[in-house]
Chain A
Amino acid sequence: MMGEEVTPTSVSLRSKVGYLPEEPAFYNWMKGREFLCYVGELFRLPSRENKKRCDELLEFAGLNEAASRRISGYSRGMRQRLGLAQALMNRPQVLFLDEPCSALDPIGRREVLDTILRLKEEATVFMSTHILADVERICDVVGIIDKGRLVIEERTEELRDRFAKPIFELRFEGEAHSITRLLQSLPWVAKVTEEHGNNEAVLRIHASDVVTAKRELPKIVAESGLILLHYELTSPSLEEVFIELVGA
């Protein structure tokens, strides 16, 4: 990493790295500010800079009011935010985040993700998570690990384009058996599912040839005489890629 071998003795390398474990652990007798200052001292920040950085990170983590309280009294979300703050203490060039949003409420999660988005302008961020929506939102490159083996590593967009085929979602008034039967017979259609409810039929069409489907589907709908309520080409998600690669 950064031209250095990563070993238990590579101490200097760690001054350029930030790390947040999945469940950050703290010395419960310490107070929030005290812990951040301790981390700053470990990074050998000069006293004044250390104090300034602690203030900045407490502000960032939303822990200003709790800074003088013992960590033992912090909620899980507060501990997670303090964990993220300590990982940023040295303005790392490489940042490892293990499930950074796992204990956060929706607002806290959004704030952390926005921070990671900002951080990736100045640092390489490695983030492990099971929340694929977060990955889609902020990650440039995705690696999928199954049973300890790296199954794939690719840019997010390319991965989605390669593995997840778009789905056409059509909603008709009444029944739509006729068009379903017709679509099933066409060579560029891989699969059609039909669901009913509220006097509506919802068709989900998986196309093997998306370009042909985009061109032909509107014509087929127009010729069917059915009343179209909704037409959408849904974007593929990483979840579908994950399921395809790892198996449901």
Chain B
Amino acid sequence: MTSFSVLLKKELRDHLRTYKLLIIVAFFLLLGFGTPLLLHYLPSLLDGDTPIPIPDFTAADVVGEYLESITQIGILVVILVAMGAVARERERGTAVMTLSKPVGRGIFIASKLAALSVTFGLGLAGGAVACYLYASILFGELNGLSFIAASLLVGLFFLVCLSVTLLCSTLFKSQLAAGGLALAIIVGLWAFSFVPQLDLYAPMGVISWGQRIIAGSGPSAWWAVSISLGLVVLSAVLAWQTLVRKEL
């Protein structure tokens, strides 16, 4: 086994045994079946007495709502889970125990990013399947390929958030400081998407593109995809180089 596979296996066991995997999958599943259910039963819950007119939701509206929800709340979950990935290991001293063995610091970072991606990937996949099933059953047919494409774009956005948070976790020994900086950077990246035309380039633009794919119209945002991938690589390399320079 290579160092990477040993570390990846350890990280995944950590996620499993400390219930991170369970919590993340449960969170996305809850949003996955909760959003279609909520929108389906919303008119009967409000009982027709509300002065606000409730539109007739389509399956595409439901998926759009789901994508928005997992993005907004998911960012916080990403930060909470990933902010201690390196910071906590340095703070507690477990990083020394691992890195005094023949393990490169780049491999250490890569294994953490890979394990977090797998865990969040499983959560997103679970949530997506739940949302697709419930939205199809309750609101009519959905284009499966469009839904997969939109889910992959959401996954890419989460990968950006994970890599940025991991970089922040490498910069500080304090988890709170790492989480705070990660939140500031991600909110900053998000702000770009509110500037007209910039949403085609900003990482958040991949979510908007996903929503457009589901709606069936609007321009593509390949630049946003490329820039997001670039940010993932850049954050991972910076995290590796930062850790090389840090005293454990």
Listed in ascending order, the chain A residues whose CB lies under 8 Å from chain B are 8-9, 11-12, 14-15, 17, 19, 21, 23-27, 29, 38-39, 41-44, 86
Contact = CB atoms under 8 A, between A and B. Distances in A.
Given A14-B101, A15-B101, A24-B93, 7 more contacts: A9-B104, A11-B102, A14-B103, A21-B93, A25-B93, A29-B14, A42-B7
A159 B235 CA distance: 53
Pick the 6 closest A-B CB pairs, nearest first. Answer: A25-B93, A42-B101, A15-B102, A19-B100, A41-B6, A29-B17
B226 interface: no
Contacts of B100: 14, 17, 19
A43 B244 CA distance: 20
Looking at chain B's contact residues, the main secondary structure is helix
The secondary structure that dominates the A interface is loop
Contacts, number: 57
A43 B102 contact: yes
Nearest to B107: A11
B6 A42 contact: yes
Nearest to A24: B97
Nearest to A41: B6
Contacts of B105: 8-9
A21 B96 contact: yes
5 contacts: A14-B101, A26-B97, A27-B14, A42-B102, A43-B101
A42 B3 contact: yes
B223 to A, nearest CB: 35
Nearest to B10: A38
A8 B3 CA distance: 16
A105 B14 CA distance: 32
Contacts of B17: 29
A232 to B, nearest CB: 46
Task: Count chain B CB atoms within 10 A of each CB in A9, A15, A27, A44 and give the residue with the most.
Answer: A27
A41 B1 contact: yes
Contacts of B94: 25-27
A25 B1 contact: no
Most buried by A among B10, B18, B102: B102
Which of B1, B100, B101 has the most chain A CB atoms inside 10 A of its CB?
A: B101
A44 B1 contact: yes
